[in-house]
Amino acid sequence: MRCAAALPDVPTRPDVPDALITALRQATGNRYRVLRRIGSGGMADVYLVEQETLGRPLVLKVMHAHLARDEEMRERFRREAESAARLVHPLICVPFDYGEVGEMVYLIMPFLGGGGLADLLARQRTLPPVRVAEVGAQVATALDHAHRHGVVHRDVKPDNVLFDDDGNAYLTDFGIATAQFHARLTASGRAMGTPHYMAPEQAMGRTLDGRADLYAVGVMMYECLVGFPPFDAADAFAVGYKQVHEAPVPVAEVNSEVPSALAAIVMRCLEKMPEARWQRGADLAGALEKWLYEAGARRDARVRTGTPSGSALPVQLTAPAPTPAQPRPSPPAPGRT
């Protein structure tokens, strides 16, 4: 028997605004409308916001409150904004704004709608060799710019590579970068970074240069090609020990379908001694672009490597462009052969 009696009215609680979102709006002067939380990392929560004046989507990174109470961590977060803001490059994600209101510390960043390399690997595990070379060349190009301006990233990893809607790779998160214009924050001998992507000298807490970042690019490309990084262990110390003392299994032995020339480029990144690696990001990008050219790689009538799609600086398809270390020869003087 079914009951036909009407249910009594039950008073409902009115929607209560999220306290954190309300605080964010107040902290940013109501310049940004907070839409939703889209992620979280070890240092910050990430929200999708809309700029009220222009109606464009942006990203709001808010430092975790317990870290914001630590002066060193606040300074490190601020330096992410300062370091990246000095690096004006089409493949580096540059912050638009930075602010501190009490314990609320935040960055405003561009919104890139193509997701991240970490998410892509979580879905697909591996990427086609051509795509790996494209991403590696773009990240190496961005790093070359950073290194030439005195900034070593120190935390290059899939989480810090984002894509726009056209699939171009952008380098982001300079939170633990070291720069010539910064005093050292940490004591000598303290390793900062993510163990799986640390160069041997980084795992030992030594002074770094840009070649440590290129080692990390090699780790990323290795992982993209075979499905896992070259070293893994139960804890960070054990991973760091392997980075210093063990040789990585060659790419070709893990996945024989990877083209040998591309595998050789990746393995050179993973040399233990910095002087045995690619010496500049431009050198690595040039090698990857050359491989793409020789492999006949084409996508939408261009190779997506050194410049984003739609850029005013197209990547040549007739031959690999020379690196900055190898400028084009000057034309002969008039009247001379």
DSSP secondary-structure letter at 92? B
Average pLDDT of span 32-60: 87
Those residues whose C-beta lies under 8 Å from the C-beta of residue 66, and which sit 6 or more positions away, are none
Instruction: Tell me: pLDDT of 172 over 50.
Output: yes
Which pLDDT band, with edges at 50, 70 and 90, does 143 fall under? very high
Which pLDDT band, with edges at 50, 70 and 90, does 312 fall under? very low
Which pLDDT band, with edges at 50, 70 and 90, does 97 fall under? confident
Is there a catalytic annotation at residue 70? no
- Rg of the chain (C-alpha set): 23
Percent of the chain whose predicted confidence (pLDDT) is above 70: 76
Q: What pLDDT is recorded for position 181?
A: 39
CA distance 24 to 63: 11
Per mean pLDDT, which range of 93-107, 137-151, 283-297, 301-315 is the poorest?
Answer: 301-315
Q: What is the DSSP string of 106-156?
A: EEEEE--TT-BHHHHHHHHSS--HHHHHHHHHHHHHHHHHHHHTTEE-S--
244-277 pLDDT per residue, tens: 999 999 999 999 999 999 999 999 999 999 999 9
Beta bridge partners of 163: 169
Q: What pLDDT is recorded for position 12?
A: 42
CATH numbers and ranges of domains, the chain: 19-110 (3.30.200.20), 117-294 (1.10.510.10)
Instruction: Tell me: pLDDT of 25 over 60.
Output: yes
Q: What pLDDT is recorded for position 182?
A: 41
37-47 pLDDT per residue, tens: 888 877 788 89
- Catalytic pick among 45, 155, 213, 283: 155
Beta bridge partners of 327: none
Q: What pLDDT is recorded for position 52?
A: 86
